[in-house]
Amino acid sequence: MAVILPAERLERALGYSFVDKVRLKQALTHRSFSSTHNERIEFVGDGILNALIARALFLNFPQHSEGELSRMRAALVCQEGLALIANQLNLGEYLWLGEGELKSGGHKRASILADALEAVLGTIWLDGGFVAVEKVVEKLFAERLASIDPSAGTKDAKTALQEWLQARKFTLPAYTVLRQEGDSPDQIFEVSCAVADGAIITRAEGSSRRAAEQLAAAEALLLLAERYPGKGKKK
């Protein structure tokens, strides 16, 4: 049986095979590891991602104003949302980090994961062109775009989750700190979020308790939308 290398696993998850593997390594390299890092590529990825999400929202929500579309886009491409997608890709496993970041759990930090995801998207654009990155963004954001609630565009994940549950007569989410490591500002919190009477339990890590709770809430929202499509929607 052929051995699947880490880069190949990531490519499979993305649905894209890189022509230039060196570019991919740079996209996954944090500045703590090398002077050849991903910050410039992240800048490119941020612009490409915002453009693609803006177009998707423009086409999917023709009745909504520029301000409403802007708020929806901000909710989709916020650090917490990008870190959630990065976690679904197991992106942290592929990052090149300096020793200090490794010891402090940098491969699980939302800011580092979000930046790396943007860098990967920017690299796909540089490596394969606009159509290639468009397909990857459509794949990665399909569920979130399908389940987006325009009225919740300005709400953070915890608020949106609470309102979703209240509107459907579910009990409120229960957050539990599972683990706390390190000293400020390099602390790592692991938090669980239990919803639907414990039918769904998500876990997330962040550099603060609030950040971890936001990530866990965001994942819970996605799982609820999958498990209870259309449940309790107002006419």
Catalytic residue at 46? yes
Q: Which of 121, 63, 127, 58 is nearest to 91 (CA)?
A: 121
What are the residues facing 188 on neighbouring strands?
181
Measured over the CA atoms of residue 45, residue 51, residue 52 and residue 57, the dihedral's sign is positive
Catalytic residue among 46, 190, 205, 219: 46
42 assigned ligand-binding residue: yes
93 assigned ligand-binding residue: no
CA distances (Å), origin 219, targets 30, 48, 80, 84, 203:
25, 24, 10, 7, 8
Catalytic residue at 99? no
Residue 5: CB atoms within 10 Å: 10
Catalytic residue among 118, 190, 213, 219: 118
Length, in residues, of the chain: 235
Q: Which of 141, 87, 137, 153 is nearest to 114 (CA)?
A: 87
138 assigned ligand-binding residue: no
Positions at the binding site: 42, 115, 118
User: Mind telling me the catalytic residues?
Assistant: 46, 118
Positions at the binding site for Mg(2+): 42, 115, 118
